[in-house]
């Protein structure tokens, strides 16, 4: 499911994709998938593509938060929580830095090679 979500993010040009394994660190999920979008419209498009892609596979989220603001959309799939940020919101909340003990998944190991997806969160602010 992680690869499917990552591919859905890349399909809509989500940037600075990070997958953090949190199993053994927190008890509410196994992983965070974090990415950025440019304008609020792109943030919404990325989040919508994730939910639509998984819905095709009969997987529905437990909840979706932040759709009204389109600055930080959280999609809860139980063991996997997806965070789609605007560049500014991602920089402000710095979620990436809060989980320094998490293991970051090497995106190339799951077949993600898109340049924008691999861009650092800091550089993604200027895309």
For 31, the 3-state DSSP assignment is strand
pTM greater than 0.85 (yes/no): yes
Is residue 98 pLDDT above 60, yes or no?
Answer: yes
- pLDDT-derived band at 126 (thresholds 50, 70, 90) equals very low
Res. 113 pLDDT band, cuts 50 70 90: confident
Q: Is residue 18 within 8 Å of 35, Cβ to Cβ?
A: yes
DSSP string, 50-67: HHHHHHHTT---SEEE-T
Distance CA 25, CA 48 (A): 29
Average pLDDT rounded to a whole number, residues 106-121: 74
Cα 31 to its chain centre, rounded Å, is 10
Residues 41-60: what's their mean pLDDT? 96
Fold of 2-124: Beta Polymerase; domain 2 (3.30.460)
Can you give the residue ranges of every domain in the chain?
2-124
CA distances from 81 to 34, 74, 115 (A): 9, 7, 23
**d(C-alpha 29, C-alpha 26), whole Å:** 7
Give the pLDDT confidence score for residue 121 in this predicted structure.
57
């Amino acid at each position: 499911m992680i690869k499917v979500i990552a591919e859905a993010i890349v399909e809509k040009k989500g940037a600075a994709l990070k997958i953090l394994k949190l199993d053994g660190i927190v008890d509410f999920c196994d992983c965070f998938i974090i990415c950025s979008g440019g304008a609020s419209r792109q943030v919404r498009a990325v989040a919508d593509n994730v939910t639509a892609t998984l819905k095709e596979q009969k997987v529905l989220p437990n909840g979706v938060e932040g759709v009204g603001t389109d600055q930080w959309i959280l999609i809860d799939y139980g063991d996997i929580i997806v965070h789609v940020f605007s560049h500014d919101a991602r920089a402000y909340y710095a979620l990436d830095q809060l989980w320094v003990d998490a293991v970051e998944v090497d995106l190339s190991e799951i077949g993600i090679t898109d340049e924008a997806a691999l861009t650092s969160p800091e550089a993604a602010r200027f895309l």
